């Protein structure tokens, strides 16, 4: 049973509340009263922070190491720092050097060989012509030697004439010129193939770093493939890894995401998207984004105290600045209007045609007409 006092008081309370909300309905103020920002909150996610992250360097092949960069050197992403299989590379270099050294002499030998072959053909033509001239007999000599001898002589003469024709063809056609060019091409091809083989060996033996930072060498001897031989340390910065499971976050281009975290010193540290990590765990695909956190303005490095598990504010970078309008207050005060017309119509009516730039999980991003 209701108390007589409540029956008396409640109508008055509701009347006051209605008056307050009615007044609020009429006075939302200007959209400019809401803060202007270049990003909007999307979510809060727990992630892992690693200050001065270290990245391993793995050998690309079996063999002896040959470092090209000194320990402690600052390197950039994709820098070539080492070769594996240095012993094979040196043998390949020696073989290639020897082939190139022999090339001029081999070329001279080819040219001299073809000159000698041409001279030999010229000599053979002369000798064959002389033999043919010696085979010309008088009628008296033919009668004395008989028909059988004449027949054999004619056959031998025909054979010599064919030989002479072939010899002249070699001499007068491009036989020797083309042959010499083909041999030179073959010689050059051997050099080119050796060069290509050596370059391929170098590429397969390369060790390049995937990050920028300070190089640390751990191994100097003969190693197996995929052995960790060193590392690169990013000094002064931190990396944060956040597993992204929310579909709405996955739909946002990663490059438009930013994160922020408050350090123990009270300063706010921001991070920008760096890369994506995908992995298969417990029969499901996990997607994580890596963000790089740089020192706060006026600091030389990110404090080590940021290491560990942290709660991050994840925001989306806007195409242009907009006014951040909390949705909760509007939903409480104008549920019917918003339900019937939607956010876009409500905003345009309440703020003289203002438009929505983005609808976030908690806030609207609104721009004025003259800001479009």
Write the pLDDT tens digit of every residue in 81-94: 999 989 899 999 99
Q: Is the pLDDT of residue 22 over 50?
A: no
Model confidence pTM above 0.85: no
Q: Is the pLDDT of residue 260 over 70?
A: yes
Q: Is residue 9 one of the residues assigned to a domain? A: no
Is 128 in the same domain as 46? no
Is 181 in the same domain as 294? no
Is 240 in the same domain as 164? no
Q: State residue 357's pLDDT score.
A: 94
Q: Is the pLDDT of residue 280 over 80?
A: no
Our CA angle for 267, 272, 276, nearest 5°, is 135
Q: Which residues of 155-182 are buried (b: 16+ CB within 10 A; e: fewer)?
A: eeeeebeebbeebbebeeeeeeeeebee
Torsion from C-alpha of 169, 174, 180, 183, nearest 10 degrees = -100
Is 63 in the same domain as 109? no
Is 197 in the same domain as 273? no
Distance between CA atoms of 66 and 64, rounded to whole angstroms?
Answer: 7
Q: Is residue 21 one of the residues assigned to a domain? A: no
Q: What is the domain extent for residue 173?
A: 88-203
Cα dihedral across residues 168, 174, 179, 180: positive or negative: positive
Q: Which residue has the higher pLDDT, 125 or 27?
A: 125
Q: Per residue in 187-232, pLDDT tens?
A: 999 999 999 999 999 999 999 999 999 999 999 888 888 899 999 9
Q: Is residue 358 one of the residues assigned to a domain? A: yes
DSSP code, position 137: -
Is 172 in the same domain as 219? no
Main-chain dihedrals φ then ψ at residue 130, nearest 5 degrees = -65, -40
Is 270 in the same domain as 154? no
The fraction of the chain above a pLDDT of 70, given in percent, is 86
Is 166 in the same domain as 269? no
Bridge partners, residue 82, by sequence: 67, 207
- Split into its structural domains, the chain has a count of 3
**The CATH number of the domain where 283 resides is what?**
2.40.30.170
Is 277 in the same domain as 131? no
Distance between CA atoms of 229 and 207, rounded to whole angstroms?
Answer: 10
Q: State residue 48's pLDDT score.
A: 96
Q: Is residue 8 one of the residues assigned to a domain? A: no
Is 101 in the same domain as 162? yes
Distance between CA atoms of 80 and 204, rounded to whole angstroms?
Answer: 12
Q: State residue 275's pLDDT score.
A: 92
Q: Is the pLDDT of residue 259 over 80?
A: yes
Is 49 in the same domain as 62? no
Q: What confidence category does residue 160 fall into, taking pLDDT thresholds of 50, 70 and 90? A: confident
Domain boundary among 194, 227, 260: 227
Q: Is residue 1 one of the residues assigned to a domain? A: no
Is 64 in the same domain as 77? yes
């Amino acid at each position: 049973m209701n108390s007589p006092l409540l029956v008396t008081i409640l109508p008055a309370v509701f009347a006051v509340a209605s008056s307050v909300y009615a007044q609020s309905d009429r006075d939302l103020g200007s959209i400019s009263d809401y803060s202007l920002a270049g990003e909007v909150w999307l979510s809060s996610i727990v992630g892992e922070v690693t200050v001065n992250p270290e990245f391993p360097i793995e050998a690309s092949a079996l063999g002896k190491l040959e470092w090209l960069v000194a320990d402690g050197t600052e390197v950039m992403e994709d820098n070539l720092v080492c070769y594996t299989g240095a012993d094979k590379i040196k043998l390949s270099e020696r073989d290639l050097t020897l082939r190139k050294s022999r090339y001029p002499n081999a070329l001279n030998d080819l040219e001299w060989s073809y000159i000698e072959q041409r001279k030999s053909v010229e000599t053979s033509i002369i000798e064959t012509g002389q033999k043919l001239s010696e085979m010309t007999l008088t009628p008296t000599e033919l009668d004395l030697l008989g028909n059988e001898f004449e027949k054999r002589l004619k056959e031998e003469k025909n054979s010599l004439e064919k030989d002479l024709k072939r010899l002249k063809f070699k001499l007068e056609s491009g036989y020797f010129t083309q042959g010499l060019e083909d041999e030179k091409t073959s010689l050059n091809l051997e050099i080119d193939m050796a060069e290509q083989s050596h370059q391929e060996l170098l590429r397969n033996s390369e060790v390049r770093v995937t990050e920028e930072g300070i190089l640390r060498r751990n191994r100097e001897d003969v190693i197996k493939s995929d052995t960790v031989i060193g590392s690169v340390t990013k000094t002064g910065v931190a990396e944060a890894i956040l597993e992204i499971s929310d579909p709405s976050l996955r739909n946002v281009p990663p490059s438009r995401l930013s994160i922020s975290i408050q350090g123990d010193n009270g300063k706010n540290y921001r991070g920008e998207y760096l890369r994506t990590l995908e992995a298969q765990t417990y029969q499901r695909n996990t997607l994580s984004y890596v963000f790089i956190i740089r020192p706060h303005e006026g600091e030389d490095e990110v404090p080590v105290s940021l290491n560990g598990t942290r709660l991050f504010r994840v925001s989306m970078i806007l195409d242009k600045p907009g006014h951040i309008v909390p949705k909760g207050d509007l939903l409480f005060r104008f549920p019917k209007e918003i339900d019937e017309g939607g956010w876009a119509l409500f905003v345009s009516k309440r703020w003289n045609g203002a438009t929505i730039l983005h609808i976030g999980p908690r806030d609207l991003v609104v721009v004025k007409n003259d800001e479009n």
